[in-house]
Amino acid sequence: TTSVNDYLRQHIRTVSDWPAPGVQFRDITPLLQDPKVFRILIDAFVHRYMDPDMRPDVVAGLDARGFILGAVIAYELNVGFVPIRKKGKLPFTTVEETYELEYGSATVELHTDAVKPGDKVLLIDDLIATGGTMMAGKKLLEKLGATVMEGAAIVDLPELGGSKLLQDTGKLPLFTLVDFE
């Protein structure tokens, strides 16, 4: 539905030169702030994953904005939520995955009992840029024997190539609502 996508696009704020000069930061906080918009946003995901053929066993959310979306989507689907966190935040035993950023690297972690072998997982974040974060999340879930059925985000930045890489090389189906150049 084009109108929902356009409506959501109109509620994403672009901040120039943040966090660094030259970056056009797509800020999703206005989508969360207005209850009417927030509901339309969440319902767009819930509608897709309520379908019996698409319903996951677990929703995994990526630190930090993937927690906000993922937790609400999981609640509405009546399935559990698990957080994939930046290194050093999770208290129990974890699996970890390190990936490359534009400058340096990052490590994410997942509790070893977060998913069971064979679980069908929906992986959620707010935005796909280079795809590194979502790919690392997929690898963590697969280390525990789970299958990531789909990755979902509000925003895709297709020019950065992450969504193509995830789908072609990573074999991860994706669902996103708004593209920005």
Binding flags for ligand PRP, 18-57, as an x/- string (CB under 6 A): ----------------------------------------
Query: Does residue 12 interact with ligand HPA by CB under 6 A?
Result: no
Strand-pair partners of 59: 81, 122
Q: What is the Rg, in whole angstroms, of the alpha carbon atoms belonging to the chain?
A: 16
For 63-86, b/e burial (b = at least 16 CB within 10 A) is bebbbbbbbbbbebbebebbbbbe
The 10 Å Cβ neighbour count of residue 42 is 18
| Cβ nearer to ligand PRP, comparing 56 with 137 | 137
Strands 120-124 and 147-156: parallel
> Exactly one of 9, 13, 39, 65 is catalytic; which is it?
65
Residue 142 annotated to the active site: no
Question: Is residue 103 within 8 Å of residue 132, measured between CB atoms?
Answer: no
44, 110, 128, 177: which one binds ligand PRP (CB under 6 A): 128
Binding flags for ligand PRP, 145-164, as an x/- string (CB under 6 A): -----------------x--
Query: Does residue 127 interact with ligand PRP by CB under 6 A?
Result: yes
Shortest spacing between CB 92 and ligand HPA, in angstroms: 28
Query: Does residue 114 interact with ligand PRP by CB under 6 A?
Result: no
Cα distance between residue 135 and residue 88, in whole Å: 19
Residue ranges that bind ligand PRP, judged by CB under 6 A = 62-65, 125-133, 162
